[in-house]
Structure 1
Amino acid sequence: MKHPMILKKQTLAIAAVALAALLLTGCAGPAGGAGTAGERAAGVGGEAGQAAGAGAAAGQTAGAGAAAGQAGQEAGVKGAAAKPSGRTALTGQPIRIGAIYALSGNNAAIGTNILRGIDFAAEDINAAGGVDGRPIEIIRGDTQGDEEVARAVAKRLITEEQVHAIVGCHQSTLTEIVAEVCEEYHIPMITAISTVDSISTHHNEYFFRLCPMNSLYLENMFMYMKEQAEQTGKEVKTIAVFADNSMIGQEAIRCARIYAPQYGMEIVKEIQYGQGAADLTDEILELKAAGADAVLAESYVSDASLLMRTMYEQNYRPPILIAKANGFADPSFIPATRGMSEGVTSVVEWNPDMTKGQEINRRFKEIFGVDMNGHSAESYTAVWTFKTAFEQAGTDDGETVKDVLTKIDIRESFPDGPEIILPYDRIKFEDHEFDGVRHYHNNIYASVAIAQIQDGEYKTVWPFEYSNQRIEYPAGYENR
């Protein structure tokens, strides 16, 4: 099966526009009073951090937590100095896009990172003239990782903040709930991150998925485990699956059961654990006893970090540990595991060593001090997709924008904008079937790659035709 990713040897020629102080420009943050103080402070520093240059204190005062405070410091200290010159005047009424993610709790780091990509895209768009002269304004909502909070936040952003569209969420269970609210109020929604297959089976007319489904992630993981033998000479015959009890974790197990026999592999152990576990010792000892050729893992970032620490403590070194992105691809994962994750492989939606998006990533890193990852690159792309849809619709009417999204076909690059920086070259939402089930409004051209942590950085190692980096086998635990 030919992997569709195309890595082009080119860089973008768009102007170098850094992230401005969003409150002062009014381009990528909520209007005064929009959202709670915690939401504003948590969302990539929030307006208080950017306006005063003290985002860390603002985020902490608002109760958004340490992750939000750090993001606020990044935006406040660096954003104020990075305001672009020569900005096109924006005179129209703002197009308000709600961004609904966990900005506090265990997944705050992930939500904050996603919002970096969203705000960065809004600033780029506004610096280039907005949507036909109308600025994009990002209105943040903090789900706190809770289903009922997510529902209430979605309703508030729609009924009180009057958003015209929504991007979100990260956790698929919450995405499903927010999609129901958007359907009720006829507000178009794009998820750039949520991968659980089932959320696209409900035929919600206003819901669109940019990223691949879980099943595609899992199939690519099995393809990699099969093809890595071309380099390593070691076939994978047995696997163990390690996943939490969330919707996305359970679906990883389901998909593994589908693909394992197709690729000639046997699942010798399945371990399900409670998300947010305080201790994983028993689970790691079970994995160790199973002795599988490869471990397939699905965890959010706090659990992923705990997994690596516990494996290290128990002296367990599987020849291959392959993760389905998620927490393993979060920017905080490698620093948090301090070398214990060396050799881990993971699905990536984007990686800094890909030639696509290099100029955008350079500017992003200047502001935030970290490279883009798959989540921030996908969220950046989702905002540009909405920008294109609003312009083609010629209105902010939800039904009209929804109709445009059902027909939109973006190839290579956005009109008057950057190229698609993800590992595919086309965005088109269509209906399709998988395993006998009908799915609606998925980007059928979405694709992924595989990267391995080598010398403390993710290096793209598969598909082979797009990588010069060789796989480390067994995983480089000696570097720990």
Structure 2
Amino acid sequence: MRKWIPLTLAAVVTAAGLQTSARAEDAPIEIGVIANLTGPDVKTSLQMSRGVELAADDINAAGGINGHPVKLIVEDSEYRAQEALNAATKLYTVDKVPAAIMFGGSSLMIPVAQMAKEQGKILINTSSSSPKLGEYPGTLFSILPLDDIVSKDLGDMIADAGIKTAAVVVPNNAFGLGVADAATAEFEARGGKVVEKIAYTEGQPDYRADVQVLVGDDVGAIIATGYGDDSRTVFRNMRELGIDAPWYAAYPSILDVENPEWMNGKLTGVDNGGYGQGVGEKVLAEYKAKYGDEDVLAHIYYGYDALMVLAKAMEKSGTEPADIAKALPEVVKDYQGATGTIVWDDRGQRIDPPIDVITYEDGKFVTTGHRN
């Protein structure tokens, strides 16, 4: 397994180690981080990791967890399921961490959640949103709401816009199909009609054969989600075919716009919100001061909250995984985070999250409203 730790994360690990004395009562509390730091989608994963690091900075500056500094052990998943399992195996069985914070798609998160369940460990989800993640109560706790929450709101928003017909264009994976199912169900429950459902295979150089079925169809809107390069290719193919319907997307800012002028004002959607106030403002200021990076993604806030709620549970209960699992639902009740108030159902899955309306305007994504 290839491993690469960003210098800034390495600094956290080293700093935590420097605070450690030979006395057991001062020993660091080790927490795992699994992220795709090589391979695809590195930028978003790196920002999540930096959010975890910012939380570690704040925790250690305040005296640690009951006097123990936090030490992060970072493993690279390379955005591959087997490497994610290798990373989790090392963290849970070799390093013996009680809990890990993870970034990755559902195809990675689900097998790691199964391993964590079998080993009686904790996994904090910052990025995956398949409803199947709700099948690991007491093991997997999500800072990110699952797709059935956000996508239901997407279907409602499309119906609220007065749109009567739509086509679905999503990647053929658990994420894409989960968004499609939840958004379609809500849109149709509100009287809309889905005329086509396209689920394309990821990683192809061209999707013209997939989307050309929409030429000439009465399509009032495109219901979509996807990832960077693939979405860019889909947009190009649709533009070249003259398919000019507005796009409504779950998590629009993870899409990569191919032609800014063509897409201007045409792409909108819903995303998790709550970052622009209170703790979120503080985290943003810390992030910019530490990294000098103005291109900020929401993932830093999810990484930050993941470690903060985990630390609060450990402060309350100690570091045994079973005790952490019992404490997590209690501590989030009083936690106002960078992603807003966290409310979990009895599975440890987030409900009633802040939802923002995101629109692509003048070459960038901007928040143009709020759904709750």
Provide TM-score, normalisation by structure 1: 0.69
Percent of pairs with identical residues: 22
Match of 1:463 in 2: 370
Structure 1 residue 207 displacement after superposition: 1.6
Match of 1:342 in 2: 264
Match of 1:244 in 2: 171
Structure 1 residue 313 displacement after superposition: 3.8
For structure 2, the residue ranges without an aligned partner over 5 or more in a row are: none
Match of 1:329 in 2: 253
- Tell whether the 8 Å contact from 1:329 to 1:374 is kept in structure 2 after alignment: no
User: Is it true that 1:407 corresponds to 2:330 in the alignment?
Assistant: yes
Deviates more, 1:379-388 or 1:207-216: 207-216
Pairing 1:287-326 to 2, within 5 Å after superposition: 287-318=214-245, 320-325=246-251
Pairing 1:47-446 to 2, within 5 Å after superposition: 47=10, 92-201=26-135, 203-227=136-160, 229=161, 235-318=162-245, 320-325=246-251, 328-330=252-254, 333=256, 341-343=263-265, 344-350=267-273, 357-366=280-289, 367-393=291-317, 395-411=318-334, 414=335, 419-422=336-339, 424-425=340-341, 427-431=342-346, 440-446=347-353
Give, in whole Å, the separation in 1 of the partners of 2:275 and 2:47.
15
Match of 2:5 in 1: 40
- Tell whether the 8 Å contact from 1:150 to 1:178 is kept in structure 2 after alignment: yes
Flag as ranges the 4+ runs of structure 1 deviating above 4 A: 48-51, 88-91, 336-341, 351-356
Structure 1 residue 133 displacement after superposition: 2.2
Give, in whole Å, the separation in 2 of the partners of 1:93 and 1:339.
56
Structure 1 residue 251 displacement after superposition: 1.5
Letter matched to residue 243 of structure 1:
V
For structure 1, the residue ranges without an aligned partner over 5 or more in a row are: 1-35, 52-82, 230-234, 432-439, 467-480
Give, in whole Å, the separation in 2 of the partners of 1:103 and 1:141.
8
Structure 1 residue 359 displacement after superposition: 2.9
SS in structure 2 opposite 1:218? helix
Give, in whole Å, the separation in 2 of the partners of 1:339 and 1:132.
54
After superposition, the Cα gap between the structure-2 partners of 1:99 and 1:339, relative to the gap in structure 1 and judged at 3 Å, is: farther
Provide TM-score, normalisation by structure 2: 0.87
Letter matched to residue 388 of structure 1:
K
After superposition, the Cα gap between the structure-2 partners of 1:400 and 1:186, relative to the gap in structure 1 and judged at 3 Å, is: same
After superposition, the Cα gap between the structure-2 partners of 1:279 and 1:293, relative to the gap in structure 1 and judged at 3 Å, is: same
Please list the CA deviations of residues 208-266 of structure 1 after superposition, one character each: whole Å capped at 9, or x if unmatched: 12221211111111222233x3xxxxx20011111111111122222234212212110
After superposition, the Cα gap between the structure-2 partners of 1:386 and 1:48, relative to the gap in structure 1 and judged at 3 Å, is: closer
Give, in whole Å, the separation in 2 of the partners of 1:183 and 1:38.
24
Give, in whole Å, the separation in 1 of the partners of 2:72 and 2:261.
36
Structure 1 residue 463 displacement after superposition: 2.8
Letter matched to residue 39 of structure 1:
W
Root mean square deviation of aligned Cα:
2.9
Aligned residues: 364
Give, in whole Å, the separation in 1 of the partners of 2:115 and 2:264.
42
